[in-house]
Chain A
Amino acid sequence: MTSNKRWTREEAERVLDHLADSIETGNPAEIAADLTDSGHDLSDIASRMKAAALAGVKEFQQQRLHRARQRYQESSSRIERRIKRFSGSREERRSMFFSVVNARPELRSALTMQHRDLNELTDTDIDSALDELEILGALEVLDDSAS
């Protein structure tokens, strides 16, 4: 049999694993009786465990609520930004478009592929390009430079 030498973590782990197996396959009434015999209050155990499990459900629901609130706030501010950006005059929208293209030269080549000459863009083309740039998040550069 084992001497008085301290048990290692792995040895203790193996014992705990075997005990876990035995608890899993054990008879619930027998385990409940063992706990009661040792002075545990079974109804106290049941109510605390139940409260913990229900707290798990609540935690999940609060997380979902929190995520939904976050999504709502994000989409509200996106809508607000969009209204602000697209409410200006045709000249203002055109100037906004060129500000973005100048700030992000890499976009120029992609846009010229579609439109050949950017100076020939119609107001409709500008609006649709601004839409695409908004989706791509490219208009953020305007927020950055404004702040």
Chain B
Amino acid sequence: MTDKPRSKSERVATAEELSQAIEQLRPEDWAKLFAHAENRSRFMKLYGAAVDGHDLVQRAVTELLEGRRAWNPKNVSFVGVLFGAMRSIASNHKANAVASGYTVPDKQITNVDEGDKSRTLTELHPDPSLNPEQQLIAAENEDDLTRFVEILYEHFGEDIEAMLVMDGWKEDLSGSEIIKSLEIDRKGYETIVRRIRRKSIVRWPKGSSHDI
């Protein structure tokens, strides 16, 4: 998938093939895609986007059909190709946001939370591609830019291992480096990661005031 030159076996999927692949997914596949799409939409919100997981999966399917991405069903599952497409949409959004100067220093984001009267990201750099309603959503989300991760971290107040792993991620350490520094094995690390992942999915039940 991707920006690499296409091999002969990779080609653009047709609308019929994708519709068929969509119909064949199981509820647990959609659950996984939902968790991933929500994760990537949170990532994009860090860079001023006003999207949710549903928008993202819709865009991924459209991009596959437009031929911006190829798919070789023999090598990659449909779920896998959608993961790749959503990742790529999110990282392209970040690159465009950074290139267009949309992002501002973190200090400014912090000020918003501290009751400062400084203007929000959207006010400073309005995105002309957004309609007024989307602009509003983007502006509201700015207050929550990093809150999701902060609250997730605080939720592990008594789970020191989970906090240490998140500290490692925060410091840009790889899984192997964290394993080495915490003196645990790969299985132990993956168990801790699953606990964090579970909380990241379940911490905000649908409709909760913390559903950010």
Residues of A within 8 A of B (CB): 1-2, 6-9, 11-20, 22-24, 26, 28-32, 34-35, 37-43, 45-46, 48-57, 59-61, 63
Query: Whose C-beta in chain B lies nearest to the C-beta of A18?
Result: B169
**B146 → chain A closest CB, angstroms:** 4
Q: Would you give 25 A-B contacts (Cβ < 8 Å), ordered by A?
A: A1-B160, A6-B113, A7-B170, A9-B46, A9-B106, A9-B146, A17-B169, A18-B175, A19-B197, A20-B87, A23-B36, A26-B32, A28-B28, A28-B29, A35-B35, A35-B201, A42-B28, A45-B31, A46-B31, A50-B25, A52-B54, A56-B57, A57-B22, A59-B62, A63-B62
- Residue B1 interfacial (CB < 8 Å): no
Question: Is A59 a contact of B58 with CB atoms below 8 Å?
Answer: yes
Bound: A50/B58 CA distance, A: 9
Interface size on B, residues (CB 8 A): 70
**A1 → chain B closest CB, angstroms:** 5
Bound: A83/B66 CA distance, A: 36
Q: Known pairs A20-B39, A32-B27, A54-B19. 19 more at Cβ < 8 A?
A: A1-B160, A6-B146, A7-B150, A7-B170, A9-B106, A15-B149, A15-B169, A20-B36, A23-B197, A26-B32, A26-B194, A31-B32, A32-B32, A35-B34, A35-B202, A37-B202, A46-B27, A50-B22, A53-B18
**A59 → chain B closest CB, angstroms:** 5
Query: Whose C-beta in chain B lies nearest to the C-beta of A30?
Result: B194
Q: Which residues of A contact B196 (CB under 8 A)?
A: 19, 22
Question: Is A9 a contact of B109 with CB atoms below 8 Å?
Answer: yes
- Residue B55 interfacial (CB < 8 Å): yes
Question: Is A53 a contact of B22 with CB atoms below 8 Å?
Answer: yes
A6 and B150 in contact (CB under 8 A), knowing A40-B205, A53-B58, A56-B57? yes
**B164 → chain A closest CB, angstroms:** 7
**A13 → chain B closest CB, angstroms:** 6
